[in-house]
Amino acid sequence: MDHLPENLREELAAAQKKKARKAAHMRVAVGEEMYPVLEFRDGGFALDIQDAPKLRGLVDLYAGPNHLYQCLIVASEADGALMRYDFKRSTAATDKAPLDFARDPDAPIALLPR
């Protein structure tokens, strides 16, 4: 790739970045802003360094329309074209409020009318 002209290398890098954005199925939401997640791992994720500011604090991770995690993050390092973020806390999102009591496994699910 070093033997290619500079403008062609820049165009190839831009095309690869565009392809990675299209392939990204995960998004991180910060307030009203959404950023495509280009890389996801157990300890964190990475965004395009030009696209994302140095985020920190509470964010939400989505896979398509599904809310997966609510995370507390901190920017960890710039790695080439990626900005890496580490999880301080990552909690799976649920659509129900947590119970404050133990549910009896034999409890009825619903009451049927007589």
| pLDDT(73) > 90 | yes
Interval 82-101: pLDDT, tens: 899 999 998 888 877 777 78
Q: What is the pLDDT of residues 43-55, one digit of tens each?
A: 899 988 887 777 8
Distance in angstroms (rounded) separating the CA atoms of residues 82 and 85: 10
Residue with more model confidence, 19 or 40: 40
What are the structural domain ranges in the chain?
22-92
Query: Does domain 22-92 correspond to CATH entry 2.40.10.430?
Result: yes
Residue 81 reports pLDDT greater than 90: no
Residues 6+ apart with CB under 8 A from 85: 44, 45, 46, 47, 55, 73, 74, 75, 76
pTM: 0.66
Question: What type of residue is 58?
Answer: L
